[in-house]
Structures are given as structure tokens and as C-alpha cells.
Structure 1
Amino acid sequence: MEYLKADLKQKQRIFAKDGAQVGMIRIMMSDGTSANILYRVMRWFAEHNLAIIAYAFQWLNKFLNGCVIGIGADFDKGFVIMHPIGIVINSKVKGGKNITLESGVVIGDEKGESPTFGQNIFIGAGAKVIGKLTVEDDVKIGANAVLTKSAPAGSTMLGIPAKPYHKKTSGDV
């Protein structure tokens, strides 16, 4: 319950940052919250060695929200799913605090290895993060980016394959 409460509070902070001061009831009714709730319930059952029940909640999340999150996927407090449709997350994925996902994000395995995430990560709509790599703290991964190599702290990763974006200054040609 502690993790779910932190997830909802983080979602409320995201809305406030975008200029929408909304109450917890509005957060509970917003897109993606049911996927977050089902993920946290699934993880609770998985952590308490009740995998068959965890799989039932995984299936329910897939059926109701159109997202598949492996029962071993482990995200710390502040995990936010803004729009759940098309999200696929491998069971071996590990993530720190305050990770936000948009729709269509795929976080996948390559040759038995999955990504690890630091804290304060944003992953844009349609982005793919594949293989054994580390996404360090304070990283933004742009919409439709394909990340196959580690992302340094504080970077914005864009493109296919994703590379750090460097804002041009007035002196750049």
C-alpha cells in the first residue's frame, strides 16, 4: 500500500508540474491508474510467493488496460503509468524511484538481459529500451526512441538508435 500511495502522489506531482492542481480522486480516475494498481497488487502476490494469483492480476491488467508487465519487474516508489495501452515490460527489469511511462513503451530483454533504471526517469510514447543497459538518474527518453546502449545521468535520449541530445547554441553551425 505504501508503494501505491507513493505512485499516486508522484502522479499528482506530475499533473501539478503541468499546471493542473488536481485532487486524489481525479488522480484515481485518470488514465493509467488502474494499471498501476493492478501492477502493485500483482507484485505483492509475487513477493509473497503466490505466483498463480500474481499471474491472474497480470492477465487482468493485460485484459483491462492493454499492458503486460512481467511479475518479476520491480519498480521502486513513484512508478507512474500515464497511458497503459501497448506497454510491455520484461520480468527482469529493475527500476528506481519516480519512473514515468507513456503509452506504447517497451522495456525488453535481449539474450536474457534486461535494462536497469535509476531514479527520475521519463520514457516517452512508443519508446523502446532493449537489452542489458543502465539508464542513470534524471534521464528523459524521447517518444519513439530506441535505446540499446546505456544512458548517462541527466541526458535526453532521442532517435533510432537513441543518442544524447545536445541543444545547439547560437554559435553552433
Structure 2
Amino acid sequence: MFDTIRADINAVFERDPAANNIFEVLLTYSGLHVLLFHRFSHILYKIGLRTLPRFISQLARFLTGIEIHPGAQIAKGFFIDHGMGVVIGETTEIGENVTLYQGVTLGGTGKEKGKRHPTIGNNVVVGAGAKVLGSIKINDCVKIGAGSVVLTDVEENATVVGVPGRVVIRDGKRVHPERELEHADLPDPVKDQLLELEEEFRKLKKEILGRNSIDKTD
């Protein structure tokens, strides 16, 4: 367990340039605080306790604004940046060296029993506000853009954006070359639909004007 905690602390320094020293990290990083609570509550959960681990997780939520169910399985090197509003469900499985930003939800889609939360592979990055829902698998080295909603499996070495989430980069090559993956210019499906409707309207208007011209000549 101590090796895992050491890897969690090292992850802060590796992925947050604002981290200055070990004392600052231990005293001020809520993502690390909630993870320490979770490491302990998960041990209690695995030996069959239920109420005490849930109490510990709710205490951690009160203190940090981050909710991690004690049943969630989280490997070493996990990093939550900022963290407020992060929710991780009971049957979630998270691999090594995963990074979550604020507002991320790793949740379920209903009231079904059993495995109902995502499985996240190694070296995955989930952007701010993204939702990964259901018993789906996000494979290794996947990047999920801010605000995306992912409801289906994602193959490794892919980048996913949008609502619903869709792959825009696979193995370093763009699936949609016309799009640039910038946080200020992520795909907007509502805007895309409005543009499509506008184009249909223009075609219809052109067709109507064309018919009127023919009628006048007749």
C-alpha cells in the first residue's frame, strides 16, 4: 500500500507543474487527500465492511468535494487535478497512471446490479466535466475531451470528444482531419445540427425560387 501511495504522490509532481514541494502537496491537494481516504476505506470494504467505509467516503466527500465509492478499484499513480465534483461509482475499475480533471463522472446508467460502472485502462486522461457511463471499457492510452459523454467502449490510443463521444484521433491519425482538438474549439453537435438545417433551408429556398422562375416564364 505504501508503494501505491508513493506512486500517487509522485503522480502529482509529474502531472501538475504548480506542485512546488512535498509539504504543499500533502497539505493542499484535495485529490490526494480523497485518495488517501479511499485507499483506507477500500481495504475495509474488501474485508466485508460496508457502513464504515461508506461513512469514510462521505466524510472525504464533505472535506474535498470528491466522491469515490469505497468499492471502486483504483491502481497506483492515480491523479485528480483540482477535483471538485468528481464522482466515481462502486464497480469502477481504474488502471495505472490515470488522470481525471474536475467534474468528471465515472458512473452507471441505471439501477442494474453487478458491474455497472466503467473500466478504465492505463495512462488514460479524462478532461473536465466529461461523463463516462455504464459498464464500458476505456482501453489504454485514451484521451477523453472536456465535456464529452462516453457511452460505448473506446479502443486504445484514441481521442474521444463530443456528445455522444466519438473518436476523432486513432493511433495518432485524425479520423476527422477537418477538426482540430483544441479545448476552445471542441466539436459542438448542436451547432453542427443547426448548420445542417441551415444548409437544408438554403437548398429548399433555392429550389422554391427556381420553381417560381419557371412558373413566371410559363
2:20 counterpart (19, 22, 36): 22
Task: Read off the aligned partner of 1:131 and give its amino acid letter.
Answer: G
Q: Identity of counterpart residues, as a percentage?
A: 30
d(CA) in 2 for partners of 1:43 and 1:2? Answer: 16
d(CA) in 2 for partners of 1:143 and 1:54? Answer: 31
User: After alignment, is 126-135 or 20-29 more displaced?
Assistant: 20-29
Paired position in structure 2 for 1:11: 12
> Once the 2 structures are TM-superposed, how far is the Cα of residue 12 of structure 1 from its aligned partner?
1.3
Paired position in structure 2 for 1:73: 72
Q: Does 1:150 align with 2:148?
A: no
d(CA) in 1 for partners of 2:39 and 2:167? Answer: 32
CA contact (8 A) 2:30 2:64 kept: no
Task: Read off the aligned partner of 2:52 and give its amino acid letter.
Answer: I
Q: What's the CA shift string for 1:63-111, capped at 9, x where partnerless?
A: 1111211111101111111122111111011111011111111111124
d(CA) in 2 for partners of 1:48 and 1:24? Answer: 32
**Structure 1 runs (4+) greater than 3 angstroms displaced:** none
Task: Read off the aligned partner of 1:62 and give its amino acid letter.
Answer: R
CA contact (8 A) 2:107 2:133 kept: yes
The normalised TM-score by structure 2 is: 0.70
CA contact (8 A) 1:35 1:84 kept: no
Q: Give me the CA root mean square deviation.
A: 1.8
Greater relative contact order (Cα < 8 A, sep 6+): 1
d(CA) in 2 for partners of 1:4 and 1:50? Answer: 22
d(CA) in 1 for partners of 2:5 and 2:48? Answer: 20
Q: Which runs of 5+ in 1 are unaligned?
A: none
From the two aligned structures, give the one with the greater helix fraction. 2
Matches within 5 A, 1:18-57: 18=17, 22-28=20-26, 29-57=28-56
> Once the 2 structures are TM-superposed, how far is the Cα of residue 34 of structure 1 from its aligned partner?
1.4
CA contact (8 A) 1:33 1:82 kept: no
Paired position in structure 1 for 2:186: none
d(CA) in 2 for partners of 1:2 and 1:143? Answer: 31
SS at match of 1:2: helix
Task: Read off the aligned partner of 1:114 and give its amino acid letter.
Answer: H
> Once the 2 structures are TM-superposed, how far is the Cα of residue 21 of structure 1 from its aligned partner?
6.8
Q: How many residue pairs end up in the alignment?
A: 166
Q: State which structure, 1 or 2, has the greater radius of gyration over its C-alpha atoms.
A: 2
SS at match of 1:101: strand
Paired position in structure 2 for 1:93: 92
Q: What's the CA shift string for 1:128-162, capped at 9, x where partnerless?
A: 00012110000111110000011111111100011
CA contact (8 A) 2:119 2:137 kept: yes
Matches within 5 A, 1:82-161: 82-111=81-110, 112=112, 113-161=116-164
Q: Which runs of 5+ in 2 are unaligned?
A: 179-218
